[in-house]
Amino acid sequence: MKYFHNLLRGKAKFYPAATPNYARAAARDNYTLGRDRWNDSMVFKDLNYSQHYGTYFNWPYNLISAGAILGPNQDNKVLPMMTDFDQRPPDSSVLLDSGGYGLIANPQHFHGDITRERHLNFTLAYRPNGAMTLDIPPRNFTQYFPDYEACRDTTLDNLAYIAANCPEDKLGLFLNILQGEDNAQIENWYNAVRGYPFPHWAFAGTQYKQMPKLLKQLVIMRDDGSLEHTTWVHNLGIYKLTLACALSTVQEALSDMLDKTVNVTYDSAFLFNNTNENGQCVRAFNITKRGLSVSFEKLPDNPKYVGSTKPFPFSGLSEISKGLTLGDLCRNRDPVNTTTWDDMSYLLVENHNIDTYLTALEAAHNRYLLPAADASNYCPQWFIRAKEGIRKVLFSETPMAEIERYRKDFEKLNQRIDPLTMADFQAGNADLR
């Protein structure tokens, strides 16, 4: 089994946002993946990377959404990958997402205090290491939540419910979610929610994926005392290698600045959703002086590969891909079906994606955290300057001036790197270590 020990020491932690389908499958015990696949003895729980009995790699962090229990089916059994608290490994950590995004997509499922009670009761019963408050993200407005004000005000009612009904000794579980789609909303939302008794913070929305906005908000929160009891800062929806590495610097600087251990974490569902929706997998990662990126490619989905022994195109990048064939993915010759893949095909590729992404994270950190002179042999100069800039901002007496000084470097943390081509592989330009 592969362990990512270097990523466990002093780095911002990635919490894969496993889909309910993956979480359900990885909790099964005595079911095999199919007698005619390459590994006849493989069982579903071999995919459970968050438990030590997972076969291929171990990563003890998970983000699970509470959204499933807020829908009409109220299905408390869709989150089983690490549901049994007493059987979780002692080094594991589960963060429970609010499910608020699902309520924006399906607002008819929100029923005021009934929904709030269900959310709070589930959070307390599930016993996560941390849980986000129930927010209504201010975007994709509908007749139920027609504008920013409606989303904010419903969120405030949610916070008031949790504060009034949660046992006092459990309030420390919660991360208060910060939202906002522009500067005015960011300021207004923060001032509206900051007075509730939840010690930790989660940054959501596209604005907070921008390092200048994140650092500015952290400075404001430091100066007004909102970080006094904070030991967990989470960032939603991040998978770019550049931002992931930069968050490790934010963690180090916050801990030094506040003179206590502050854990900075981040999550993404993209490594699951991109496979489910587009049939793509992680094919490589790129660490060069041009930039850092993770590359994806659509996998074959064709009846001609049913029963094929042709190797998985990117065999060897992950533990599960070793020995995997196209016939293990393409299963169905029936022309009525829109895909030759079955449910297990998606699970195999998703496991590959997480393993390969963690390998990319480890390689990126190994270079990024070198002394600047050595890191410049592998990474772009703006990336190295951004690392320096994060600490300068958080320790400066004029932090806003430092943000402007490093703004161009910070903004490049979000830039898109052109995907690698097969010619890059053949020329040896892709870093596959």
Task: Name the percent of the chain lying above pLDDT 90.
Answer: 66
Q: Encode pLDDT of 204-245 as tens digits.
A: 988 999 999 999 999 999 999 999 999 999 999 999 999 999
Residue with tokens 């893949």: 341
| Identity of residue 393 | V
pLDDT at site 48: 86
pLDDT at site 125: 86
In this predicted model, which residue has the larger pLDDT, 108 or 259?
259
Closest CA to 249 of 34, 32, 431, 395: 395
Strand 130-132 and strand 174-178: the pairing is parallel
Least confident residue range of 81-95, 172-186, 304-318? 81-95
How much is the average pLDDT of 350-366? 95
Task: Using pLDDT thresholds of 50, 70 and 90, give the confidence band for residue 55.
Answer: confident
Domains of the chain (ranges; CATH) run: 2-31+52-272 (3.20.20)
How much is the average pLDDT of 309-314? 94
Q: Encode pLDDT of 240-295 as tens digits.
A: 999 999 999 999 999 999 999 999 999 999 999 999 999 999 999 989 998 899 99
Judge whether residue 34 has pLDDT over 60: no
Which residues, other chains included, contact 111 with Cβ-Cβ below 8 Å and sequence gap of 6+?
none
Which residues, other chains included, contact 188 with Cβ-Cβ below 8 Å and sequence gap of 6+?
152, 180
